[in-house]
């Protein structure tokens, strides 16, 4: 990548690769979770659980990236939204809601018309049933995170879309005004502390409110990236957050406290510090080697349809598991089929969903990146060039 030091909006093409990697981590985690009967895979395959069981941390990665990419354009605009609140909300709604509704409708239809998905079966899918009128209505209103009875119903991963949609509203109404008045440090610290309090009180913990603090960490990361001063403490901060993540894992087991919030917010800090570290170097004109694999064409392409993967993979994996159950396979073989045969097919189906639905609602940067990828693919097919390098950014 060329020198970006003089640009107000340098390109960070590895962001989509990171997003795509997070989506695949979530898919592998759910393929493991949906293997066999409920909790059977985690009990019988502890070594595999140790490897893929942290796939749920893909959600904090998505949230940090959202805070990062939404904050970047405000930094050169006095911490204000370009085009104002109305245009911002319209852009966000157009990008997020139509694919979400399409995936929700597909999920509802699967439950309505596939008998095996309507019945309690002793699998992880049972947590999505029964499908009730309130759960369906709350999903369409994007308020299903308001109740523990609704949040995990129908299609589990959709809970985070509701939370993120609400954060999109908090961003201009609360976070940015406080950012201007109090400064980044106080806002990030306050958002982390306040949003993490349910971990200790138990109030509303099902809604993962700490994602607000994780989003604020993404905003901070963007601020550091574009700062004219080189912040040398970002690297040590990355190490510190990594250590805190390990401490949180141990502490939550030792003291039997709710673990998700502590672990996710520490992991979000790792991602935010890593983005700030890499971003500073990109702005200075040098892309770190560690992020270069994430900006290859295949990784960028994966990132472009990662939202479709996230929206649709869960009920498809659950259906595959239910269809495999009557075969009474050994749990290891069952997991291998789910991971190495079913999961790739599910991702391919999600790519078809992207082409049919999500592609129509990409933002301008993503549309440009898609066009450039298609042009590269056509040129490579004509010349026989197998190169997979890409210099475009999708955000």
pLDDT (tens digit per residue) in 15-41? 999 999 999 999 999 999 999 999 999
Asked whether the beta carbons of 54 and 22 are under 8 A apart, the reply is: no
Mutual orientation of helices 343-356 and 84-113 as an angle, nearest 10°? 130
Of 307, 274, 272, residue with least CA distance to 291: 274
Q: What average pLDDT is seen over the chain?
A: 89
Report yes or no on 358 lying in a domain.
Answer: yes
Cα–Cα distance between 157 and 132 in angstroms, integer? 18
Task: Give a yes or no: residue 125 inside a domain.
Answer: yes
Q: Quote the Cα angle for 282-287-290, to 5°.
A: 125
Q: What is the pLDDT of residue 244?
A: 87
- DSSP letter string over 382-393? HHT----B----
* Residue 208 maps to a domain: no
- Please report which residue ranges of 34-183 form alpha helices under DSSP H: 40-44, 46-52, 58-75, 84-113, 133-140, 158-170, 176-182
Tell me the sheet residues that pair with 389: 296
d(CA 268, CA 127): 27
**DSSP string for 337-376:** HIIIIIHHHHHHHHHHHHHHTGGGG--HHHHHHHHHHHHH
Which pair of structure tokens corresponds to residue 51?
């490897």
| Region label for 12, one of left (φ > 0), alpha (ψ between -120 and 50) or beta (otherwise) | beta
Model confidence at 229, pLDDT cuts 50, 70, 90, reads confident
Q: Residue 361 belongs to what domain range? A: 14-167+283-383
In a domain, 294, yes or no: yes
More confident residue, 245 or 133: 133
Residue 104 · residue 139 · CB < 8 Å: yes
pLDDT of res. 383? 63
Contacts of 112 (CB under 8 A, 6+ apart): 118, 131
Which residues is 296 bridged to in the sheet? 389
Tell me if 293 is assigned to some domain: yes
Per-residue pLDDT reduced to its tens digit, 342-353: 999 999 999 999
Through-space distance between the first and last CA atoms of the chain, rounded to whole angstroms? 16
According to DSSP, residue 302 is labeled H
| Residue 298 maps to a domain | yes
Neighbours of 137 (CB within 10 A): 12
304-358: pLDDT as tens digits: 999 999 999 999 999 999 999 999 999 999 999 999 999 999 999 999 999 999 9
Please give the tally of structural domains in the chain.
1
Q: What percent of the chain has pLDDT over 90?
A: 72
- Torsion 304-307-309-312 (CA) sign: negative
Does 238 reside within a domain? no
The reply to whether 335 falls in a domain is yes
CB-based contacts of 212, cutoff 8 Å, min separation 6: 167, 170, 191, 194, 195
List pLDDT tens digits, range 148-178.
999 999 999 999 999 999 999 999 999 999 9
Between CA 326 and CA 337, with CA 332 as vertex, the angle to 5 degrees is 65
pLDDT at 202: 78
């Amino acid at each position: 990548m060329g020198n970006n030091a003089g640009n107000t909006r340098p390109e960070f093409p590895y962001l989509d690769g990171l997003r795509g990697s997070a989506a695949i981590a979530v898919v592998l985690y759910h393929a493991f979770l949906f293997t066999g009967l409920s909790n059977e895979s985690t009990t019988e395959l502890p070594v595999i659980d140790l490897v893929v069981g942290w796939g749920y941390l893909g959600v904090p990665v998505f949230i940090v990236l959202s805070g990062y990419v939404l904050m970047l354009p405000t930094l050169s605009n006095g911490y204000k939204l370009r085009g104002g609140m109305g245009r911002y909300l319209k852009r966000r709604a157009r990008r997020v809601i139509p694919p979400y509704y399409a995936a929700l409708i597909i999920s509802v239809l699967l439950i309505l018309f596939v008998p095996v998905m309507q019945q309690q079966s002793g699998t992880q899918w049972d947590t999505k049933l029964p499908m009730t009128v309130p759960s369906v209505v709350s999903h369409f209103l994007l308020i299903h995170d308001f109740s523990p009875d609704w949040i995990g119903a129908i299609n589990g991963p959709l809970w985070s879309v509701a939370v993120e949609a609400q954060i999109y509203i908090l961003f201009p109404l609360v976070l940015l005004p406080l950012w201007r008045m109090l400064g980044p440090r106080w806002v990030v610290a306050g958002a982390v502390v306040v949003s993490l309090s349910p971990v200790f009180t138990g109030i509303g913990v099902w809604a993962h409110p700490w994602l607000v603090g994780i989003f604020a960490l993404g905003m901070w990361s963007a601020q550091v990236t574009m700062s004219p001063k080189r912040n040398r403490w970002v690297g040590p901060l990355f190490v510190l957050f990594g250590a805190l993540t390990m401490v949180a894992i141990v502490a939550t087991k030792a003291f039997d406290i709710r673990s998700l919030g502590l672990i996710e917010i520490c992991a979000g800090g790792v991602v935010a510090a890593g983005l700030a570290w890499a971003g500073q170097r990109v702005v200075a004109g040098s892309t770190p080697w560690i992020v270069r694999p994430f900006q290859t064409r295949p990784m960028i392409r994966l990132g472009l349809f990662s939202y479709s993967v996230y929206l649709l993979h869960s009920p498809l994996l659950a259906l595959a598991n239910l269809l495999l159950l009557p075969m009474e396979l050994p749990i290891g073989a069952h997991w291998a089929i789910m991971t190495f045969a079913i999961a790739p097919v599910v991702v391919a189906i999600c790519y078809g969903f992207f082409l049919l639905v999500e592609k129509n609602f990409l933002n301008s940067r993503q549309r440009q990146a898609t066009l450039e990828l298609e042009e590269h693919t056509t040129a490579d097919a004509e010349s026989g060039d197998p190169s997979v390098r890409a210099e475009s950014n999708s955000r």
